[in-house]
Every structure is written in C-alpha cells, then in structure tokens.
Copies of this chain bind each other. A is one copy, B any other.
Amino acid sequence: MENFSSVQDKAKLVRKWCLVSTTEAGSGHPTSCLSAADMATILFDRYFTYDIENPLNIYNDRFVLSKGHAAPLLYTLFGMAGAYPLEEVKTLRKFGSVFEGHPVPNYKYTEAATGSLGQGLSIGAGLALASKREGLGNKVYVFTGDGELAEGQIWEAANFAAHEKLDNLVAILDINRLGQSQETMFGHNINEYINKFKAFDFEVIAIDGHNYEEINMAFQTVQNSNGKPYAIIAKTFKGHGISFLENKDGWHGKALKKEELEKALKELEPIKDELRFNLKRPKQTELPHQPDKIRSSAMSFEEKKEYATREVFGEVLAKLGNENKEIYALDGDVMNSTFTEDFKKAHAERFVECYIAEQNMVSVAAGLSRMGKIPFVATFAAFLTRAADQVRMARVSEANIKFIGSHVGVSIGEDGPSQMGLEDIALFGTLPGTIILQPCDAVSTEKLVPLITAQKGFAYMRTLRPKTPLVYSNEDSFSIGGSKILRQSDDDLLTIAATGITVFEALKAADELQKEHINVRVVDCYSIQPVDANTLKKCLNETHHKMLITVEDHFVHGGFGDFAAAALSGVSGQVIKLAVKKISSSGTKEELMKDAGIDASAITAKVKSVLKKEVVM
C-alpha cells in the first residue's frame, strides 16, 4: 500500500489557506473548498502538467473550476505551485485584488470566469476540443459541484464531449451532498450520477473523494485515453477535515470567525507551511496566436442582384478561413440558415456542430477563445437568447467571440414571434464594450466581417433573412463605429437613422417625402455600438428641426434607438424611436413591418406628424 502522508500534509496546507483567506475576507465558501481539497491536491501533486510562467502555453493541462465559489481552493493551489506568495491570498475578496470572490480573468490562472454554475464542463470541452483537433496531447480537468449538475447545460456539455470523443476531458464531480439552501436533489445517492453519466456515454469512475488510494487510482486511470470523456464521481463531505464543519447544514457561503478559525487550524496540526507543489512542465512551449491583421475576402457583388446578408457572411467567413487558421465556426443545427455551412465545406476541421444546445455552444466558444482561437458562434438571433447567461459570463471572461444572429426582427415573416430576434441588441448591448453591427447589404457585410475578425473582444453581427439589393458599391469602405449618409440635401428638415432591413424603408420613405418637397436625411447606422455619434450630432445640427427618428426591427427598449439617444445626450434636439412595441405574429415581411410600424409608410406618417406638430408649436 502506497504512503500518502506527504500529499495528505499538502492537503492540510491547502485547507488551511482556504480557511484563512475566507476568514480574512469575512465571507466566502470555505466548506465548498474543503470537500474538493483532497482530489485537487493529488491532481496538483502528481498529475497536473503546467508551465507556471506561461498560463497560456497551449500544451498546458487545464484546470477549470466550474464551482467558482470554491475560488480560494484555486488560488491556494496555484500559490502552492509557486505562482505567487501564498500570503497574497489573504487579499481575497478585497477591492483591487486579483483574488476575487469568484474567478475572473484578472487572475491569469483561471481558464474562464466562473460563478454562474454549470458552465465549466462546456468551457472544458472547448479547451479539450482545441487540444484534440490539434493533437496537443494535454488534459483538461473540470471540477464541478453537485448542486450545479441540475443545470441543463451540464448535459448539453456531456452530450457534446461524448459525441466529439473528448477523452482528454476529465470531469471531477464533487458530490458533497449540500447545496446552498438545503440538500441537493440527489443528496449522497451517488448512483443517480453514475447512471446519468454512463447513459451520457462517459467512462465513469466512482470513488470516495477523501480516500487517497481511490483518488490516486482514478487520476491514474484517466491518463489513458479510450475515446470517451471521463467522469470521476466522488462522494465527499462539505467541510471535510474540520469536525465542526463536516457535513453540517448552515455552513454554505460562510467564513469562520477568528476563534472558529483557530479551533479549525488546531485540528489540522501539524501544518507544514513550507510544502509546495512541484508541477511537471509540458515538453513544449507555444503561446496562442495574436489576433490576425485585417484581411479582405476579396469578393465583389453585382449591382443588379439581391443578396441575403446571412449568405454573404457565410461566404466571407469561409474565405477568411483560408488564410486565418484560428477561425472556428460553431453552429446549432442551423448551418443551412446561418450559412456557416460554407465554412464547414471549406474547413471541416474547424467547424463545430453543436446541435440544438446553444448554452454549451457559447461556453465551448469561450474555451476555444482561451486557446487563442477566434470562434464565430452562429444561430438564429432569437436563440442566442437561450445562452444569455453564457454570453454574459463569456464577456466577464474577456473571451474573443464573434456572435452571428440570423433571422432578426419581424421581417423574417411567416414563422412567427418565437423565431424573431427582437431582444438581441439589448442582450449584447448591455455588455460593456461589445461591438454590434448590422449591415444592410452584401457589400457592407463583406467589408465588416473582416473587421470584427481582426479586433479582439466581443462582437455581434445581425444578419438578415430576406435578400436585399445593394446600397453600396464594391469600393465603399466601412468601419466599426461608422455610418453612411445615404440621402442629404441643403435643406433637410430632419434625419432618419436606420439599420439593417429598415434602411430600405427609410430610403423609400425619403423618396416618397421628396415627392411632396419634404427633404429628409437618411443615415445607415450599420454600426450600432459604437454608434457614430459624430455623424448623428452633425445631422441633428444641420437639419431644420434638430430631430432624429430612429427606425429598427427590434423591440423599442434596449435597441439601436437607445444607443442613438445616448449618443445625442448633451446635444439639444429630439430623438423619436420607431421600433417594435408588441408581440408580432405570422404574416409576410411587408405585413409584419407595417403592423409593427417600422415600414416606409410608418416612417412617412411619423415624419409628417412631427413636422405638423413642430409647425403648430
């Protein structure tokens, strides 16, 4: 029988720092750290292969703490691996410290921000997928809690991992029985988890998560790859190692008071403070590629033809993928609608079919981004909403993801409201610094996709279902934060700012109005965020009535109109929003745009009514 006394001593030190740091902070989740401490310690002591100077080395093993509230465990592990002096962990949860309450990318050893539960397995699957497809040979270890296994995303990730044969992915399930408010749904009924992960085609290893022999055996086993992802299902006890915490209700998310801490540390004695992990280094060092320079797809379009921007997007992405090998495309069983199928045809090795599981898709993309990839995530705009929380967390992770939402607005027609993307600008718009674009024609689409590819960070592009005529010529240029004035004269009465499909309605309205000698300016705000504040201000100032009418195929709150209004705050004038204000229905594109009050006739009517009002006033 092997002697585990040295690693057990290290586990004591791990426990000490989880307790000390949370007591210093006055809050946190020490007992959630303690249940996983033994497994994590053996992993770091014997198996984890990592280049501590280069957390981004693509050959590193990966440690994903899905149960993000156990952050002090993560901080202690890497501290004991020499990443920083352990004393620093005492700044836990303090303003300005990298040791936040839940891991964030300021702390460079975390693979992703966690803390919204049930996302870690998908992130791990993204990391493992990149490794697998590129033959890097490293392993990804994901520690999950048991409460979070109730999140459906776990099973999306499980399906995905098994389907992609990610045998370099190891889920370590810390089944400590207790959730926040009470016992979890299955408590210590470990068979519930065993049966489920087996049914989801994982290789399952069930262990006592505090038995060093069994833990070690499990980690030894997972070093072999047999085509299946692994689940180490560990029966553990919350607060294990400290008698008055272990398996006790009422200790979730509570730090020990000073005197309780002293009592706890006594139980751990003797503590060997000098113990450290000596991580194995991977044989190679390679950092992820930097974002690419801007490349053009060098396409051109025929003046008289109509194109759907979603189709153009697909073609452009496939072409960009020829030179830029970091681009990945992910889709949720709608590649023939979003046109990522073009990318798949050209670059099957970098196409990821995620099936109808949008949450997993977004978190997989976050994992790919961490490996230096440039993932394009595409589905109907309406169904990106399904992954709103994963989008939010990927933003906190500072992931470099490009989202493509097709089938936006009521203009999709007959399918009805469930398929209409009408909240997507709000979804992405609230997240700080997210680029939001909506080109209205083929040319602007072709020019804009390369720009978001080259710029690191979050970007979202709306693409249109119907075909639209060309507004631009192949020589026109576009920029993030730009816009185009499409109609103007020396005596414009007001300005209409449109985006996407409503550009054509605005142009129609302008033409109609001109017949009645009413001149209006029309701006195509293809960049919604950042919006072209300078141009909008200029338009406001140069028009008689200092009035801007925004028109968009999106719900009225949180859309383009609010970005335009915010850009004009501080300028005297008036912003009137035309947008969708009720739940739409089935019908033709024309009927539904009219019904929503965002078509040419609605714009014309609004212009006339506001002008009348102005004159009367």
Question: Assembly of this chain: how many copies?
Answer: 2
Q: Kindly list chain B residues whose C-beta atoms are within 8 Å of the C-beta of A591.
A: 95
Whole-angstrom CA separation of A559 from B562 in the bound complex: 10
How does the 8 Å CB contact mask read for A546-583 relative to B, with 1 for contact and 0 for none?
00000000011111001101100110101111001111
Tell which of A73-81, A194-202, A256-264, A318-326 binds the partner: A194-202
Q: Does A314 contact B (CB under 8 A)?
A: no
Given B151, B152, B414, B431, which contacts A27 in the complex, CB threshold below 8 Å? B414
Q: Does A499 contact B (CB under 8 A)?
A: no
How many chain A residues touch B (Cβ–Cβ < 8 Å)? 111
Q: Does A481 contact B (CB under 8 A)?
A: no
Whole-angstrom CA separation of A389 from B384 in the bound complex: 8
Whole-angstrom CA separation of A180 from B180 in the bound complex: 40
Q: Does A374 contact B (CB under 8 A)?
A: no
Whole-angstrom CA separation of A185 from B431 in the bound complex: 33
Minimal beta-carbon separation of A134 from chain B (angstroms): 23
Residue of B nearest to A250 (CB): B336
Residue of B nearest to A353 (CB): B182
Whole-angstrom CA separation of A68 from B423 in the bound complex: 20
Tell which of A48-56, A272-280, A287-295, A356-364 binds the partner: A356-364
Whole-angstrom CA separation of A556 from B334 in the bound complex: 33
Q: Does A147 contact B (CB under 8 A)?
A: yes
Whole-angstrom CA separation of A192 from B162 in the bound complex: 12
State whether B572 touches A572 (Cβ < 8 A): yes
Give the residues from 403 to 435 in chain A that come closer than 8 angstroms, CB to CB, to chain B.
414-419, 422-423, 426-427, 429-433
With A385-B389, A418-B113, A569-B575 as known contacts, state yes or no: A336 contacts B181, CB within 8 Å: yes
State whether A416 touches B577 (Cβ < 8 A): no
User: 25 interchain pairs (CB within 8 A)?
Assistant: A27-B414, A93-B416, A93-B587, A100-B586, A101-B416, A102-B419, A113-B418, A150-B159, A151-B152, A151-B386, A152-B152, A152-B156, A152-B357, A180-B336, A184-B333, A192-B201, A386-B389, A388-B423, A426-B558, A430-B555, A432-B583, A556-B566, A558-B562, A562-B565, A572-B572
The 5 closest A-B pairs by CB, nearest first: A152-B152, A115-B418, A95-B587, A558-B558, A388-B388
